[in-house]
């Protein structure tokens, strides 16, 4: 690999990649509706000579872009879906671009552009097409945690020798820990209507069943391991108050540190539904909304990514950028306490190393980590006191603060791949560890064959 050519391309095309990120930020689109965002990425990839398979796996906003024909096959995972209700201007005060509209409150516009930048730079670093292969997967719907599961169901990712995922953050770090697996399902209860005042004895309330199930699940929380999280949302609470509702439904998300333990817990949640149906003389149907695996760490890749992050020069921030971040930090209710820390910075600088503390969130990147060896890392693209899925992140994702972290991530990915290519034993060790870790825990796609995209959007 000619790293000099790769880095030169990134330097020469920095503004162009910033514009890609800003274009996606300006047209935020939610899960499986990322028509403009995916089209922009595909346009650039085709301009750069990649072979692009659009509507990959029958998913309208997914794609697979390939350049090269050699070994190893290196996969990059671009995401570009926005979050509902997080519309925000590039401003230090809460100002929606459009009331109630979506916004990039997780920074996926940056994520898309960073992986795009790295993919093209790696192409530019080839001395011939036979050197290695770069595959950029366009991955929709990460925010609802099933996008990559839908893709994996259609055979995605199996061709790779290794995969790289970068995500925006408040810090520069390598993910050396797991994230939680998730299973989701909507419980649809069916009862019998009656006049709530005139003849309530003839009714069988589906809403009562939902509420009793929720009570059971809340008591269950006391008797599960510390890693388990159970969340729910009543999606249908019936019609008028004077009619005993014959239909009601509730959507459950259940999480745990590994998928096997998660599914055992979800069986207990289902028993809450069964008990509620028995008590109310109703019935229920469970409709899967899919799920995802936890992240499977790969130590050989983690160690090399940590080296790469520390070897690549991080961003330098202007006073205007620091002031912008500081103004955002001051809107955090814990600002006085947190800013008193001796290591406080308005934007975190420097690589903190490998994160070993448990991360409670979930991502469908976990699915990929059970299919091929994967490494995940993060760089600072936000003010240091930004909270997850917030308007702070939307604001900084459209600001030069976010763009600088994005470009740092792209440079780090290129350096990481260079190190792997120059030292083939790294990939051998990564594959050996992956084979050992997945000997018992085989990947079983959490998106069932019958689940359709429209089922998870309803």
Residue 252: half-sphere exposure toward Cβ, Cα within 13 Å: 30
283 pLDDT higher than 70: yes
| Angle at CA of residue 82, ends 345 and 103, nearest 5° | 65
pTM: predicted TM-score of the whole model, two decimal places = 0.95
Q: Which two tokens stand for residue 15?
A: 């503004």
Task: Give how far Cα 106 sits from Cα of 7, 13, 363, Å.
Answer: 27, 24, 12
pLDDT digits (tens, 9 = 90+) for 317-376: 999 999 999 999 999 999 999 999 999 999 999 999 999 988 888 999 999 999 999 999
In CATH, what is the architecture of 3-179+294-437? 3-Layer(aba) Sandwich (3.40)
pLDDT at 155: 96
Cα(174)–Cα(295) distance, rounded to whole angstroms? 13
How does pLDDT run across 55-102, given as a tens digit for each residue? 999 999 999 999 999 999 999 999 999 999 999 999 999 999 999 999
**DSSP string covering 285-334, please?**
EEEEEEEEPPP---HHHHHHHHHHHHHSPPP---HHHHHHHHHHHTTSTT
Residue 40, token pair as written in the block: 């922009």
Summarised one tens digit per residue, pLDDT across range 378-407 is 999 999 999 999 999 999 999 999 999 999
Domain coordinates of the chain in residue numbers? 3-179+294-437, 181-291
Q: Do 254 and 229 contact (CB within 8 A), yes or no?
A: yes
Task: Identify the pLDDT of residue 359.
Answer: 83
Over residues 89-123, the pLDDT tens digits come to 999 999 999 999 999 999 999 999 999 999 999 99
Give per-residue pLDDT as tens, 120-143. Answer: 999 999 999 999 999 999 999 999
pLDDT at 309: 97
CATH of domain 181-291: 3.30.70.360
In this prediction, residue 358 carries a pLDDT of: 83
| Six token digits for residue 48 | 């750069």
CA 333 to chain centre: 26
Q: What is the pLDDT of residue 22?
A: 98
Q: Is the pLDDT of residue 458 over 90?
A: no
Count Cβ atoms below 10 Å from residue 438 Cβ, excluding itself. 16
> What is the average pLDDT score of the chain?
97
CA distance readout (Å), 288 to 104, 221, 237, 251, 378? 27, 21, 19, 10, 31
Residues 283-301: what's their mean pLDDT?
A: 97
Measure the N-to-C terminal CA separation of the chain; round to a whole number of Å: 47
What does the pLDDT average to over 176-191?
Answer: 96
């Amino acid at each position: 690999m000619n790293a000099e050519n790769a880095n030169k391309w990134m330097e020469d095309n920095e503004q162009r990649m910033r514009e890609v990120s800003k274009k996606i930020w300006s047209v935020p689109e939610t899960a499986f509706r990322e028509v403009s965002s995916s089209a922009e990425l595909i346009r650039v990839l085709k301009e750069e000579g990649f072979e692009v398979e659009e509507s990959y796996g029958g998913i309208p906003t997914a794609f697979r872009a390939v350049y090269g024909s050699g070994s190893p096959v290196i996969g990059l995972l671009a995401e570009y879906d926005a979050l509902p209700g997080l519309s925000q201007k590039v401003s230090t005060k809460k100002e929606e671009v459009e009331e109630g509209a979506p916004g990039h409150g997780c920074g996926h516009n940056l994520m898309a552009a960073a992986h795009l930048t790295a993919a093209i730079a790696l192409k530019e670093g080839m001395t011939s097409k036979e050197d290695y292969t770069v595959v950029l997967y366009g991955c929709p719907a990460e925010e609802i945690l099933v996008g990559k599961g839908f893709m994996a169901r259609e055979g995605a990712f199996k061709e790779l020798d290794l995969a790289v995922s970068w995500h925006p953050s408040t810090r520069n770090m390598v993910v050396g820990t797991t994230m939680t697996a998730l299973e989701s399902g909507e419980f649809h209860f069916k009862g019998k209507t009656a006049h709530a005042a005139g003849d309530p004895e003839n009714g069988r309330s589906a809403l009562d069943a939902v509420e009793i199930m929720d009570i059971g699940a809340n008591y269950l929380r006391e008797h599960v391991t510390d890693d388990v999280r159970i969340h729910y949302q009543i999606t249908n609470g019936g019609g008028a108050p004077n009619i005993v509702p014959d239909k009601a439904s509730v959507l459950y998300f259940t999480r745990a540190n590994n998928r096997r333990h998660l599914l055992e817990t979800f069986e207990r949640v289902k028993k809450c539904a069964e008990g509620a149906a028995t008590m109310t003389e109703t019935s229920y149907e469970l409709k899967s909304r899919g799920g995802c695996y936890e992240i499977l760490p790969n130590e050989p890749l983690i160690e090399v990514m940590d080296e790469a992050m520390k070897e690549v020069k991080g961003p330098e921030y202007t006073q205007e950028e620091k002031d912008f971040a500081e103004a955002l930090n001051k809107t955090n209710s814990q600002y006085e306490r947190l800013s008193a820390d001796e290591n406080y910075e308005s934007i975190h600088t420097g690589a903190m190393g490998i994160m070993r503390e448990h991360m409670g969130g979930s991502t469908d990147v976990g699915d990929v980590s059970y299919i091929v060896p994967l490494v995940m890392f993060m760089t600072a693209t936000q003010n240091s006191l930004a909270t997850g899925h917030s308007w702070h992140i939307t604001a900084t994702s459209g600001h030069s603060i976010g763009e600088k972290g994005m470009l740092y991530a792209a440079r780090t990915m290129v350096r990481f791949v260079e190190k792997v290519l120059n030292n083939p034993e790294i990939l051998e060790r990564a594959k050996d560890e992956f084979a050992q870790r997945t000997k018992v825990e085989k990947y079983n796609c959490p998106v069932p064959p019958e689940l359709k995209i429209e089922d998870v959007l309803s």
